[in-house]
């Protein structure tokens, strides 16, 4: 027998993360996230669903955004990490949307949830936010702030004024 016959090919299942998942969240952090969400649903205030979470982020109300990793199509939640980075809102992931929905008190899965008030879990949320901020990669933290776009617009407005002054001087 040759060595070729003794070696059997091993099949390895590779699970690829979705394109919107910017970092991996350890299991214990996911469990703590769902636990805090469960407390916040009864004693605090949460926004359920992608649309409600988006509104909470844009209004600056979201203290933490939780995104499911198994959302299909991905486009439903693809904008959330980018928006969170722009608005400096912490975000994290959980593996399954069904678990996220269940923790929020829903009978069905949900793609995203925003915690706006953790209620009695406020201290636990603060501890979790420290862990989550450590997980968020530097590239997500360095997103361009919203005010940078306004500065460019102001510069464009100044150019026509300068041209008018030059024409008046002639």
**pLDDT over 70 (residue 140):** no
pTM (predicted TM-score): 0.72
pLDDT band at 52 (very low <50, low <70, confident <90, very high): very high
What pLDDT shows up at residue 23? 83
- Assigned fold of 18-140: 60s Ribosomal Protein L30; Chain: A; (3.30.1330)
- 24-28, 53-57, 76-80: range with lowest mean pLDDT: 24-28
Phi and psi angles of residue 95, each rounded to the nearest 5 degrees, phi first: -65, -45
List, in sequence order, every beta strand (DSSP E) within 12-75.
45-48, 64-68
Contact 23, 50 (CB under 8 A): no
Three-state SS sequence of 72-86:
CCHHHCCHHHHHHHH
Percent of the chain with pLDDT over 70: 71
What value does the mean pLDDT of the chain take? 80
Please state, in angstroms and rounded to a whole number, the distance separating the CA atoms of residues 142 and 138.
6
């Amino acid at each position: 027998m040759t060595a070729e016959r003794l070696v059997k090919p091993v099949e390895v299942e590779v699970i690829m993360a979705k394109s919107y998942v910017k970092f991996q969240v350890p299991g214990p952090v996911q469990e703590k996230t769902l636990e805090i969400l469960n407390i916040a649903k009864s004693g605090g205030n949460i926004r359920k669903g992608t649309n409600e979470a988006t509104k909470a982020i844009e209004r600056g109300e979201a203290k933490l955004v939780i995104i499911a990793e198994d959302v299909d199509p991905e486009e439903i939640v693809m904008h959330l990490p980018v928006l969170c980075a722009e608005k400096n809102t912490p975000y994290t992931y959980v593996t399954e949307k069904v678990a996220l929905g269940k923790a929020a008190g829903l009978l069905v899965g949900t793609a995203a949830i925003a915690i706006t008030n953790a209620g009695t879990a406020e201290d636990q949320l603060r501890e979790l936010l420290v862990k989550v901020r450590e997980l968020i990669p530097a590239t997500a933290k360095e997103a361009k702030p919203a005010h940078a776009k306004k500065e460019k617009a102001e510069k464009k407005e100044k150019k026509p004024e300068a041209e008018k002054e030059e024409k008046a001087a002639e």
